[in-house]
Structure 1
Amino acid sequence: MKLVVVSAGLSVPSSTRLLADRLAAATAGRTSAEVEVVELRDLAVEIAHNLTNGFPGRKLAAALEAVGAADGLIAVTPVFSASYSGLFKSFFDVLDPDALAGRPVLIAATGGSARHSLVLEHALRPLFSHLRAVVVPTAVYAASEDWGAEGLPERIERAAGELATLMTGLSTPPGPAEAGKDQKAEKDQKAEKDEFTVVPFAEQLAALAAR
């Protein structure tokens, strides 16, 4: 399995990247997933060029391919003007619209104040719902005062557990029992088709007239 982490943090060090790393570690600890981190800060110029000319650069193309091939995605953005960052949105604007369809996604954000925590439900969740991703129920917001305080580690663990469960469930092939049920259902459907015979309407009328 492959877990891709998209971090839109701009500063170095970045609280956004720190939150992304903690979420990735908690998720990977529950799965056998290989983790790949996509730092949007390093792709800003190529993203801008792609928006204007329609062609991704080499690094951006690799990042888009990684996201499209991921079994699970963690997307973390800093909050700017009560929403996700422009860089974060621009990356998903150039992503293929079908790339995340049915894919489990954990959303998270960082900000200076807890007052911006609703950005998760008002901005991020609608964005990924529009992309037809499966967004885990628990979203994680980390304000400046949350680091080192109670509550954040528990939210991280809960969200990571939900993502890991979705990733494992989607990647696990059906066991013998489930496979047997599927085969039986197919046989039953085939039997029903074999038993059902379509009689042309003209023949039905002829049969009625002969009575």
Structure 2
Amino acid sequence: MLRSIIENKNARALCRAFLSLAGDLRGMYDVPVQQTTRRSAPIGMTANQLSCGLLVINECGALLVGHSTGAAHWDLPKGLIEAGEDPMTCALREAREEFGLDFGPERLIDLGRHAYYRGKDLHLFAVGTSSAETRLELCHCISYFEHYTTGQRVPEVDDFAWADDAQLDTMLAKSMRRLLLDKALLSRARNLVRI
């Protein structure tokens, strides 16, 4: 019976339409698409990608976040680690590129590697700062991408804000909210930084 459905021309067209719609809807949810490549992981398993980033915390305990251009959510300065790069170097590079921040490595507190979502881990660091040292009006993004609908080159981050937990609950994407708020990583980081 399955074979006759697959051989049916209308059923194949319906399946193609469904798969196309599913592809369009993927971007609306907090489930990123992962293209897997063969690595040195055991057979049947793929190695998780690694992104590194900073939790920038001010004297009030607020977290610095940036608005992801073209998306509803706000995020940390973070990104994929490059070949030959260590997690701290990656986190500092991403903070410079996406937020215009320049902290010395001696200021960072290693929060470790955490499961983020299927296929991706996050290695995070915390840094304490003040609102005077890290002023929103001086934050800027020098990392650009081609917008998926317009094709124009736009910055990855288009706005910056200090946010408390109540604000973060509505600003962060589900995976980041789960890690920082539900699993209390942000609370732990606040206890570790010196401001």
On whether the aligned pair clears a TM of 0.5, the verdict is: no
Q: Which has the higher contact order (CA 8 A, sep 6+)?
A: 2
Structure of larger gyration radius: 1
Between Structure 1 and Structure 2, which shows a larger proportion of helix residues?
Answer: 1
Q: TM-score, normalised by structure 1?
A: 0.23
TM-score, with structure 2 as normaliser: 0.24
